[in-house]
Structure 1
C-alpha cells in the first residue's frame, strides 16, 4: 500500500524516465538548498530578534522576561500557521506541480521579511505595531509550511532512488546555511554599530537584505524544471481530485508516524538555537557575541555534516542514522545547561556545535523518511502536513515559550531538560513503530 505504491512508481520511473545529467543534478541540488536556506535566513532573523530586541521594541510595557515571552508568542504564531501553509501549498503542489509552488512560497516569505524591516515600533504607532508584526509572522509561517516539502521533493524526485538519503539532504542543508547567514549578518551589524544604534535601526538591516536574497533564489530556481515524477503522474492521469482529503482518508497512520518524527529534533533545535539566546543573555548575563558565535560555528559545521549523514543513510539505512541521532541527543541535553552555566566561551561553542551536529544527523534523513511514507500523488500534501503538524503537536512551535515558562516558574533548567528528553522519546517510539509498520506491509504485500 504506502510503500508498494511508492516502489512501483519508482521502478516504473527508473525503467522509462531518463535521469538528468550530473551537471543538471548539481543545479537541482543547489536549487533545492537555496530556497530553504533563504526561508530559514528569514525565519532565523526573526527568531534572533525576538530573543534580543523585539520584547523591548514591540512589547515595551512589560518586564524584560515577560516581554520576551510575548515576543516568543509571535515566534509561535509562525509555527502555528505552518500547518495551514502545509495544507494550502501541499494541495497545490500535488495538483499544479512542485516548481510552481516553490516560486510562490519564496516570494511570500521574502515579501513578509522585507515588510518587517519597514515596520514602525510600538513607540511610533502603538498597538498597531505588534498586531502587524503578528500578521507578517503568520504569513511567514504559511510560506515556510509550503516550502519544505517542495524543496525536498525537488531533490528526491529528480534523483536516483538508491541515493534518496543524499538527495533528500540537499534541502536539509538549507536551514544550516540560512542560520549561518543570519548569524553572520547579525554579528556584523552588531559589531559595526553601537547598542543604541542596533536597537534604533540596526536590527532592520538583516530583514532588508532578505529582498535581495529572495531575488537570487528565484533566479536560481527558474532554471530547474518540474520533477520527472510529477510530470509522469500528470501524463498518466493518476492525480487525485483532493490530495488532502485522500491523505486523511487512506493514509492516516503514515501521517501520524511521519509527524512523530518531527518532535524530538524540533525541541532540541529550539533549545540550541532559540532559547539559548535568552538564557545566555538574560539569565547568565553574557554578551550577545558569545552565543551568536556559538550558533555561527555550529550552523556552519552542520551543513557538511548534513550531507555526510544523508550519504551515510544510503549505506546503513535512514532509520539507523535517525535513531542513533536521537540517542546521542540525550547526553547533549543533559550537558547543555551545566556547560552553559560555566560562562566559558569555548565550552559554550563546543556544546552548541556538538548539539547542532547531532541535530544534523536527524535532520539530514528526516526528508527521506517522511517522503517515503507517501505515494507520489499525495506526496507533497502528506510531507507538508506531517512536517508542519508534527512540529505543532510536539511542542516545537511553542518550545521556546514552554522553556521560558518552565524556567520562570521553577527557576531551574532541570525541567527544561526533562521536557526535551521526553520529546526525544516520542520520536524514538514513532520510528520504532514505523519500522514494524513498514516491515509488516512489506510482508503482507509479498504474500
Structure 2
C-alpha cells in the first residue's frame, strides 16, 4: 500500500529533524544504561559480598554476590517482553524513555540501601529487588536503542548505524570502572567499603537526567510510522513473535552468548580472581580493565564496517572461531600472574567482544518484521544474556575453585561454539529491508 504525499513528507521531515540526534540518543542511552549495569558488576566483584553477605568465607561471599549479579539477567527477558510490547504497540521513543527511568531509579536507590550490619537480612532482599529492577530496565533498553539507530539508517549502512548503541557499553564500562578506579586511588579500604562504593550508583541520577533530555527530543522512527499507516501493528506482539518467529529468536540468543561470556568472564570473574587469588591491587586491575576496554571500543567500528562490507555472518564466524581459540589462552595468560600477560589476556578477550558484539546492533533487528521487531530483538538479546552472562561468573568461580583456570577457558570456548552454531544456522540479513 502506498503512503500519501503528506505522510511521506512527515516521515521525511521526522527523519531530517531527528537524524542528527538519533545516533547520539541511541548511543547515550545505552552508555548510561550499561554504566548502571556495570557499576553493579564491579561492586559485585569488590564489595557486595562483604557488605550484604558478611557471614562465611571469602569464596562464599563472592558466590552470593554473583548470585545477585545473575538476578538481573533473569529479569532482562521479562523487561524485553514488557517494554517490547509497548515499543511495538505505541512506539520506540516513549518506551525508551520509560526503560531509562526504570533503570536509573533502581540504580540510584541501590546506592542508598543499608548494609547487612545495619538492617540484617532485609538488606540483601532490598538489593535483590532493585537488582531485578535494573534487569527490567535494561531488558527494554537495548532493543529500542538498536531500532532507533537501524530504522533510521540509510541503505547499506545499517551495520554502521547499529554500531552506535554497541559503543554505549564500552563508554559505560569506562565511566563505571574509571569512577571506581578514582575512588580506589583516593579512598582507604575502610572508606571504600563503608561509603565510597555507593558514589557511582548515586551519580547515575545525574546521567539519567541527561539521557532523558536527549531522548525526549527525538522523533519516532520512519519504519514504525510506516507500520502505523499500513495498519500492521499486532495486538499482542509477544504472541505473534513466539507463534511465528521463535526460530530467529533462538538463533539470535545463541549468537549473543559469546559476547556476554567474553565480557563477563574477562571483567567480573577476572576482576574477582585477580584481586582475591592473584593478589593484584584493586586499582591496578581496574586500570588494566580500562586499558583493555579501549580495544573493545576500537574493535566495534571496525567490525561494524566489515559487517556492512562483507555481511554479518562472515564477521561473526571469524569472531566466534577466534573466541574458541582464546579460551585456551586463559590459563597460561591470566593464570601467569604477570601484569603484562594478564593485560594481554584482557585485551584479547575484550577485543573479541567488540568484534562479535558490533554486528548485533543490525543483525538482531534484521531478523524480525516491524510489528514485532522491538520485542524480537530485545528478547533474543536478553535470552542470550541468561545463557552467556547470568551464570557465567558463578560457574567460572566454581570451575576455578575445583579445576583451575583451564576449565574456565574451556567454558569460554564452549560458549563460543554455541554461538558459532547459531550463526551458521541463520540467514544472512545484510540486505534485508526494515520498512
What is the CA deviation profile of residues 101-139 of structure 1, one whole-angstrom value per residue up to 9, with x for unaligned ones?
110111111111111111100000000000000000001
- CA RMSD of superposed structures (Å): 2.1
The separation in 2 between residues aligned to 1:350 and 1:289, in whole angstroms, is 17
The Cα shift of 1:81 comes to 0.6
Residues 184 and 296 of structure 1 are in contact (CA less than 8 Å); yes or no, is this contact kept in structure 2?
A: yes
**Candidates 332, 338, 341, aligned match of 2:332:** 338
- Normalising by structure 2, report the TM-score: 0.94
Residues 275 and 404 of structure 1 are in contact (CA less than 8 Å); yes or no, is this contact kept in structure 2?
A: yes
3-state SS, counterpart of residue 162 of structure 2? helix
3-state SS, counterpart of residue 285 of structure 1? coil
The Cα shift of 1:14 comes to 10
The Cα shift of 1:368 comes to 1.3
Q: Note if 1:308 corresponds to 2:298.
A: no
Q: Which residue of 2 aligns with 1:445?
A: none
The Cα shift of 1:348 comes to 2.0
Counterparts of residues 76-155 of structure 1 (less than 5 Å): 76-155=70-149
The separation in 2 between residues aligned to 1:358 and 1:132, in whole angstroms, is 36
Q: Which runs of 5+ in 2 are unaligned?
A: none
Q: Which residue of 1 aligns with 2:286?
A: 292
The separation in 2 between residues aligned to 1:187 and 1:420, in whole angstroms, is 27
The separation in 1 between residues aligned to 2:292 and 2:28, in whole angstroms, is 19
What is the CA deviation profile of residues 143-200 of structure 1, one whole-angstrom value per residue up to 9, with x for unaligned ones?
0011000000000011113101011111010001100000100001111111111011
Residues 333 and 341 of structure 2 are in contact (CA less than 8 Å); yes or no, is this contact kept in structure 1?
A: yes
What is the CA deviation profile of residues 54-97 of structure 1, one whole-angstrom value per residue up to 9, with x for unaligned ones?
11000001111101100000000010111110110111100011
The separation in 2 between residues aligned to 1:345 and 1:290, in whole angstroms, is 9
Q: Segments of 4+ in structure 1 off by > 4 A?
A: 13-17, 19-24
The Cα shift of 1:255 comes to 1.4
Q: Note if 1:186 corresponds to 2:173.
A: no
The separation in 2 between residues aligned to 1:76 and 1:19, in whole angstroms, is 43
What is the CA deviation profile of residues 5-25 of structure 1, one whole-angstrom value per residue up to 9, with x for unaligned ones?
xxx99xxx9999538778843
**Candidates 421, 429, 432, aligned match of 2:424:** 432
**Candidates 53, 59, 66, aligned match of 2:53:** 59
The Cα shift of 1:209 comes to 0.5
The separation in 2 between residues aligned to 1:381 and 1:340, in whole angstroms, is 38
Number of residue pairs aligned between Structure 1 and Structure 2: 427
Residues 20 and 158 of structure 1 are in contact (CA less than 8 Å); yes or no, is this contact kept in structure 2?
A: no
The Cα shift of 1:351 comes to 2.0
The separation in 2 between residues aligned to 1:182 and 1:415, in whole angstroms, is 29
The Cα shift of 1:435 comes to 3.4
> In structure 2, do the counterparts of structure 1 residues 262 and 14 end up closer, same or farther at CA, with 3 Å as the change threshold?
farther
The Cα shift of 1:430 comes to 0.9
Q: Note if 1:398 corresponds to 2:391.
A: yes
Residues 85 and 236 of structure 2 are in contact (CA less than 8 Å); yes or no, is this contact kept in structure 1?
A: yes
The separation in 2 between residues aligned to 1:138 and 1:291, in whole angstroms, is 28
The separation in 1 between residues aligned to 2:105 and 2:47, in whole angstroms, is 21
Residues 335 and 405 of structure 2 are in contact (CA less than 8 Å); yes or no, is this contact kept in structure 1?
A: no
Query: Bigger shift: 127-136 or 340-349?
Result: 340-349
3-state SS, counterpart of residue 435 of structure 1? coil
The separation in 2 between residues aligned to 1:386 and 1:340, in whole angstroms, is 31
The separation in 1 between residues aligned to 2:8 and 2:426, in whole angstroms, is 26
Q: Which residue of 2 aligns with 1:232?
A: 226
The Cα shift of 1:211 comes to 0.4
The separation in 2 between residues aligned to 1:256 and 1:206, in whole angstroms, is 35
Query: Bigger shift: 348-357 or 164-173?
Result: 348-357
Q: Which runs of 5+ in 1 are unaligned?
A: 1-7, 443-447
Residues 71 and 128 of structure 2 are in contact (CA less than 8 Å); yes or no, is this contact kept in structure 1?
A: yes
Query: Bigger shift: 218-227 or 298-307?
Result: 298-307
